[in-house]
Amino acid sequence: MIIILNEYRIDTSSYRITRYDRPVEVEPQVFTVLQVLIENRHRTVTKEDLIDHVWQGRVMSDAAISSRIKSARQAIGDDGKTQRFIKTQHGIGFRFIGDVEIYPSPQDSPLLSAPSSVTANEATDHRPSIVILPFNAKSEKENNILAHGLAHDIITALSRLRWLKVISRSSAFQVANGTTDLQTLCQLTSVRYCLSGFLTVHSGYFTLSYELSDLQSGAVLVADQVQMRNEWINEVRQDIIKQLISSLELQISENEAQRAQLKSAENLDAWEAYHLATAHLYRFTATDNEKATALFRRATQLEPQFARAHAGLSAAEFQNAFNLYPGIDRKTSVSRAIGSAERSVELDRLDPLANFVMGRSHWLNGETDLSIPWLERAISLNPNYAHGFYAHGLASLMTSDAQRSYHNSEQAISLSPLDPFLYGFYGIKAFSYLADEDISNARIWAEKAAQQPEAIAVMDLLAAATCEMDSDALTAQKWLERGKRRKPDIDHQYFFKALPFGHGKVRALVQSSLERLGV
C-alpha cells in the first residue's frame, strides 16, 4: 500500500518513508504507529489500541507512547504544537487528521493463497493471526442469527489467547456483508489463518461444519463438524465453543512449529523460536527439553519484552527441576524457573501462561498453597485453559486432601482430549479417587495416565502403587520395573519431590504402598 501525504510517500510494503524521493529515517515501531493512525483515520485511536498493535498488548508507559508519537510526527513534518496531521485527543488517544491518497503497492499480489503485501504490523508483530468469518446458514433467519452468534463467540474466546492475533468482528463481518473481500482483508492485516463454515438443520439437528485454512499455503489444516439437537443448543453452545477453541489452539500452534522447522535456527524470529520450543517442550525428554530451553532463551534475546518467551523458559526450567534430567543442577533450574516466571508476569500480568508458570513455580519450593491464586487467575483470564484446570486441580489436592479435583480433570479432558499433558489430566482424577479411598477407580485412572505416550516416570510409580493397593502385586511390579528402566534411581522421595503432597490421606496411601514395594 502506498500512502501519499503532501510531499511524503509512505510504502507499507517496504516500510519506507520518502520526502521528495529522499529517504526519511524511521524506526519500525514509529512506522507502525504512523500506519495504525493513518489506517484508522476515521476514528480516534486509543492508547490501548496502540499498545495492542505496536507492543502486542505488553505493559507500556505513557512516556514510551508519547515518545513514539513525537517521532511519528517528526517523520512527516509535524509537531506537538501545530498538530497538522496527528492530533492529540486528551484523555482518549490520537487521531490522524491529514488528507492522504492511498494506492496499491506494485508488489501487492492478487493471489489470496499467498498474499505478498506485508504490512508494518507484520514486521513488528509476528504472532500468528486468524480471521473468523461468519458461518453461513442454509435456511431460516433464526439460524442465520445463530450462525453469526457462534462466530462472534469464537472471536471473543480466541481473543483471550494472547499469543494469537484475532481480526476483530467488525472487520471480519464486513466480508460477509460484502463491504470488503477476503483478499483485501488479508492484504491489510497479513492474516495467516481463516476459520469458515456453515450451519445446516436436518431432522431436528443443527450441524456446524467448519474448516481451518492456512491462507499462505492454501492448505486445509482441519475440517470437522459438530452436531447437536435443536432443543440442546443453548445448553451445549459453550461446550461447542470450548472444543473448537482447544482444537484451533493445538492445530495453529503445531502448524507454527512445523513452519519454524523449515528455517535454520539463526533465521528464526522470536515467535517462530517460541512455537518450535513449545513443540520440543511437550515431548518430555532431556534432549528435547534442552532444545526447548535454548529456543526459548533465543526468543527472549531477540525480543526481551516477549512475556510468553520468558514464560516458556520458566516452563522448560521447571521441567528440568521436576524431572531431574542428567547433568541438571536442581537448585539452578528452580532459581531460573522462578526468575523467568516473575519476568513474564512483570511484562504481561494478563497472559494466562505467565500466571500459570508463576503459580506452578511455587511447587518447586513445596509452596503449593501459594500457587492456587495464580492458577485461578490463569483460568479466569482464559476459561478454555486446559492446563490451568489441570494445575489448579493438582495444586488443590497437594495442598489439602479435603479437596477433590474431579471437575478440574473433566474440564481439562473435555477442553483438550489430545493434549500431551493428558497423563496429568488422568492423574489428578486418580489422586481424587485416592483421597476418597476408592482404590479400584484410582487404579483405573492411574494406569490410564501411565499408558499415555508422553507420560513421565512418576506415573509409573503411581500406577504401581494403586495396583499394589488393589492387591495386584504382579501388575504393580511390571509398572515399577518400567519406571526403573526409564529412571533407574527413582524412589518414593523422587515421587514426592516432584509432587509435593502435604501430609494427609493421599501421601500416606502412596508412601505406604511404595515402601511395601521396596521403593
> Does residue 430 share a domain with residue 464?
yes
Radius of gyration of the chain (CA): 26
Question: Mean of the pLDDT values across residues 280-289?
Answer: 89
> Does residue 137 share a domain with residue 199?
yes
Over the stretch 99-108, which tens digit does the pLDDT of each residue have? 888 776 554 4
Q: Is residue 141 part of a domain?
A: yes
Confidence category of residue 142, pLDDT binned at 50, 70, 90: low
Confidence category of residue 215, pLDDT binned at 50, 70, 90: confident
> Does residue 220 share a domain with residue 131?
yes
CA quadruple 105, 110, 116, 119: dihedral sign: positive
Over the stretch 67-101, which tens digit does the pLDDT of each residue have? 899 999 999 999 999 999 999 988 788 999 988 88
Over the stretch 28-58, which tens digit does the pLDDT of each residue have? 889 989 999 998 888 888 888 888 888 776 7
Q: What residues are paired with 130 via a beta bridge?
A: 166, 193
Q: Is residue 113 part of a domain?
A: no
> Does residue 291 share a domain with residue 243?
no
Q: Is residue 112 part of a domain?
A: no
Mean pLDDT rounded to a whole number for the chain? 84
> Does residue 91 share a domain with residue 56?
yes
Number of domains in the chain: 4
Over the stretch 393-419, which tens digit does the pLDDT of each residue have? 999 999 987 788 999 999 888 878 878
From 383, 417, 445, give the residue that closes a domain: 383
> Does residue 41 share a domain with residue 156?
no
> Does residue 43 share a domain with residue 6?
yes
> Does residue 415 share a domain with residue 516?
yes
CB 189 within 8 A of CB 167: yes
Which CATH number do you get for residue 169?
3.40.50.10070
Which CATH number do you get for residue 473?
1.25.40
Confidence category of residue 6, pLDDT binned at 50, 70, 90: confident
Which of 296, 290, 292 shows the shortest CA–CA distance to 308? 296
Lowest mean pLDDT among 157-171, 312-326, 360-374: 157-171
Strands 16-19 and 22-24 come out as antiparallel
Which CATH number do you get for residue 307?
1.25.40.10
402 in the Ramachandran plot: left (φ > 0), alpha (ψ -120 to 50) or beta?
alpha
From 201, 223, 248, give the residue that closes a domain: 248
Q: 492: domain range?
A: 400-519
Share of the chain above pLDDT 70, in %: 87
Q: Is residue 395 part of a domain?
A: no
From 248, 278, 310, give the residue that closes a domain: 248
> Does residue 174 share a domain with residue 98?
no
Confidence category of residue 178, pLDDT binned at 50, 70, 90: low
pLDDT of the residue at 109: 38
> Does residue 268 share a domain with residue 365?
yes
Ordered strands of the 16-19 beta sheet: 22-24, 16-19, 8-11, 2-5, 101-103
The CA-based angle 398-277-312, given to 5 degrees, is: 40
Q: Is residue 257 part of a domain?
A: no
Strand segments, DSSP code E, in 215-333 are 220-229
> Does residue 153 share a domain with residue 87?
no
Over the stretch 456-493, which tens digit does the pLDDT of each residue have? 899 999 999 999 999 999 999 999 999 999 889 888 88
Q: Is residue 59 part of a domain?
A: yes
In the structure grid, which three cell numbers stand for residue 20, read together?
A: 521528495
Q: Is residue 474 part of a domain?
A: yes
> Does residue 86 share a domain with residue 151?
no
Question: Mean of the pLDDT values across residues 368-381?
Answer: 93
* Contacts of range 103-108, beta carbons closer than 8 Å, 24 or more positions apart: 103/1, 103/2, 103/4, 104/1, 104/2, 105/1, 105/2, 105/11, 105/12, 105/13, 107/13, 107/14, 108/1, 108/13, 108/187
Q: Is residue 37 part of a domain?
A: yes
- Other Cβ atoms within 10 Å of 273 Cβ, number: 27
Please say if the pLDDT value at position 212 is more than 60: yes
Which CATH number do you get for residue 55?
1.10.10.10
